[in-house]
Amino acid sequence: MLPALGLVGALALGPAAALADPWPLGEVMTPSGMAVMLEALVFEENPWSGESLAVVRLVAPSLERALSDPFALRADMDWACATWGQPAAASVSMTPDIVVVEMMAAPVERGAPDPAILQVFEQYRLVGPDCIWELF
């Protein structure tokens, strides 16, 4: 099983070249104009399939408003995979099979459901330089 690592652990694993051109930190605007902030990058193994995952955990306080336009939200999720998932995957020696993008209205402990906090997830397979959406 791959260890679960926070952002600091993921950065520590990356080669020096990856650190010279880091992914965005702090508040960032998605293509739709929603503010998001990287909460963590987690590397783990899917216990059912055995596939390795890079999980991009983003805090998006206005996530509930974003649900009014599911096409824009999906485009934001695609963008998040390209913005954080691909560079994170390239920063480790064993490229993950899957990138999971998790947006949450407020921080939630990984793997602990909280019905009071809205969370959305998308899953992508990395094929060359592209994030290919998969039904999650």
Each residue of 80-111: pLDDT tens digit? 999 999 998 888 888 899 999 999 999 999 88
Residue 77, pLDDT score: 97
Give the pLDDT band of residue 22 (cuts 50, 70, 90): low
As a whole number of angstroms, the distance between CA 124 and CA 135 comes to 8
Give the helix/strand (H/E) hosting 28: strand 27-29
Identify the CA nearest to 25 among candidates 10, 39, 42. 39
Task: Answer whether residue 9 shows pLDDT above 80.
Answer: no
Q: Would you call 54 exposed, middle or buried from its count of C-beta atoms within 10 A (0-12, 13-18, 19+)?
A: buried
The predicted model scores a pTM of: 0.81
Q: Residue 92: which residues within 8 A CB-CB, separation 6 or more?
A: 10, 13, 14, 43, 54
Q: Coil, strand, or helix at residue 113?
A: coil
Question: How much is the mean pLDDT over the chain?
Answer: 84
Which residue is listed with tokens 């993921």? 10
> pLDDT: is 22 or 16 the higher one?
22
The answer to whether residues 102 and 119 touch, using CB atoms and an 8 Å cutoff, is yes
Q: Give the start-to-end residue ranges of the domains of the chain.
A: 1-35+61-110+126-136
Query: Which residues are 134's β-sheet partners?
Result: 123
| pLDDT tens track for 51-82 | 999 999 999 999 999 999 999 999 999 999 99
